[in-house]
Amino acid sequence: MLHGPAPYHHGALRQALIDATEALLAEKGADGFSLREVARRAGVSAAAPAHHFGDAAGLLTAVATLGFEGLARALEAGDARGGSDARAALREQGIEYVHYAMHHPGRFRLMFRSGQLHKDAALEHHGTAAFDVLARGVRRAFGVADAAAMTPRHWNAVTALWSLVHGYAHLAIAGKLDPLCREQGLERFVEGSLRPILTATIVGLMPDAPGTA
């Protein structure tokens, strides 16, 4: 007797829909997203995504939440790689930010498109957690004990560093840096160009902070 494909169990179906969403986002962007196409790619009925996530925004919100959760882990890894050197830790956070965008371009673009996402407690929590890794790194570099003691100068440093790596990340995943890479490829170009850019920026923002960057 011939049998059809084995049905997904609940957790596997959820992950299959998320994986299909990420692949579709990477190929076509959020504007090319549809629940029907996600269902087709996952090999399930057209009603399955809505059954598990409510609507398109629910599925996109789940993917964006995972995106911020993963970004926070990447930033923490960069921070740890910097060790006791506070400025080096900030630099490594910046490298990880861009690498994360390069490895998850569809997810990364989606994370900052609030108009297509639900207002959601988990999404807000993980987005704040990722931001807090950077803010803590800046506080540490300035020798500031807690967020309540941060001045406009400290918050300006947070904004400047975030803007730098966020803009660089979008240039990288949009292919705008490709003409500069030549034969070395994007990964090596990022390593060679972003590190000195971050080092100079961090030293300029906090010349009196401990560390060598």
Cβ atoms within 10 Å of 134's Cβ, excluding its own: 23
- d(C-alpha 67, C-alpha 112), whole Å: 10
- d(C-alpha 117, C-alpha 115), whole Å: 6
Chain-centroid distance, C-alpha 175: 17
The pLDDT value recorded for residue 4 is 41
pTM for the complete prediction? 0.89
Token pair listed for 58: 């629910």
**Per-position pLDDT tens, the chain of length 213:** 444 444 554 458 889 999 999 999 988 888 888 899 999 999 988 888 888 899 999 999 999 999 999 999 999 999 999 999 999 999 999 999 999 999 999 999 999 987 889 999 999 999 999 999 999 999 999 999 888 999 999 999 999 999 999 999 999 999 999 999 988 899 999 989 999 999 999 999 998 766 555
Cβ atoms within 10 Å of 165's Cβ, excluding its own: 23
The pLDDT value recorded for residue 131 is 97
Q: From residue 191, how far is each of 95, 137, 139 by CA, in Å?
A: 8, 21, 25
Domains (range + CATH), the chain: 1-54 (1.10.10.60), 56-205 (1.10.357.10)
The pLDDT value recorded for residue 3 is 42
The pLDDT value recorded for residue 18 is 92
